[in-house]
Amino acid sequence: MRGLWEKAREVLESPEQPSTFRLELPDEETQTAVGELLGRPMLGYGTRIKVSTLDERVRGAGLGVGLAEVLEILHGRPVSRTSSMSSTSSVADEPRAAVRAALAEHSLGDAPWADEWARWLHQYGRVPEDELDVVVRRAAAVLAELALDRAPVAWTSRADLAARTGDAHGLDSGTTLSRVVLRAAALAHDVAAPGNEHERRALWERCGVALDGVSATVLCWSLPLTGADDWSRSVLRRTAAGLPSHLTHLDLQAAPARLVEPGTTLTVCENPRVLEAALRDDIGHPLVCLSGQPTTAGLELLRRLADDGAVLRYHGDFDWPGVGVAGALRTQLGVEPWRMTAADYRRALDDAARDRIDLPSLIGAPVETPWDPALADLMATSGRAVEEETLLPALLAVLRR
């Protein structure tokens, strides 16, 4: 842990007072030790640590002291708080006031991340002083439309969001506006600032923004659409031809306000093999396939269907990600897990043993299953995952009925 404490002291004694620092994790032992302290798994050879989070974890460890006191005990000398910041405080007051004013216009002035974002903008934002007012006002307008303290229930495309601030390309990767907005979003969600395109995409989507309207898709079969418009007829024609539909955000924008009648039952599956098998067997029960973790398009479709009053039920893999998706869909959209009880899991284990099917080991941290707490307990005890494709014959039999 020596490297962690040395880096933490360096940060606390720095005139810039950065809110985060990067820590190298040279070996598995270091990864485990740091992960146990921070309460999250450490993957790879480095991580970014938030100073306030480290202080909270230390205080919650039963020691009765904070980070600065721990460092004094470990190193035998107090943390030297620099006074150099005081000479620049008056210089920082004006831009911070501009940030506060811009956020206040959108009821974000009291957001818990506002002060830290303002400090970051002043110290590291690299925004020219003569552009600061315009940038923070545009950023505040964007932030007001993001899901910063909740899970998103709808998604907008990044280009549409940017266009509403005056420039359709203003939020493209690499722009100043994109950089400062994502920093605020990272602070709001208490995650490290994104360092690559994959992390930027994930953070945008976490805030309810799709990078574009066409790359995210959701696979569907036999949707019982009620509209008589061209869009609905085109999807129904694909079903009549025995073909599935890959719907994008643009498709959903073009769709009619109502998709299905209230009370319509649709099954949501995880594995595309389930949908393919239903299609080939000419099973007309409507299916929405998430192909693993839900895309923004998939979540948007499910929200639209739920708003129509459809009855949505989910079946996925009996592994930790699978039951995690089930729980998230249940909480966010009211989708009920289907054939995913402890009894269903036990039956799947027995059938696999009877048919001599080798089941993979469960990997990852356990996930609670509040719709049936016994399921998580049984999965943890057995240590085996049951993939949805293994259950295909039984699922098809029920769907056919």
pLDDT in tens, 299-338: 999 999 999 999 999 999 999 999 999 999 999 999 999 9
Question: How many CB atoms sit inside 10 A of residue 354's CB?
Answer: 8
CA neighbor of 15 nearest in space, from 67, 95, 100, 80: 80
Ramachandran area for residue 66 (φ above 0: left; ψ -120 to 50: alpha; else beta): beta
Q: Are 286 and 222 in contact (CB under 8 A)?
A: yes
Phi, psi of 45 (to 5 degrees): -105, 10
Lowest-confidence region among 78-92, 114-128, 220-234, 300-314? 78-92
CA distances from 279 to 82, 217, 337, 397 (A): 68, 18, 22, 13
| pLDDT above 70 for 121 | yes
Q: Which residue has the tokens 């039956």?
A: 347
Using CA atoms, how far residue 134 sits from 88, 115, 385, in Å, is 23, 19, 53
Report the C-alpha gap between 157 and 207 in whole angstroms.
11
Nearest Cα residue to 282 out of 344, 350, 216, 221: 221
Do the beta carbons of residue 102 and residue 136 sit within 8 Å?
A: yes
pLDDT at residue 229 tops 90: yes
Given this model, what pLDDT does residue 391 score? 95
How many whole angstroms separate alpha carbon 328 and alpha carbon 38?
24
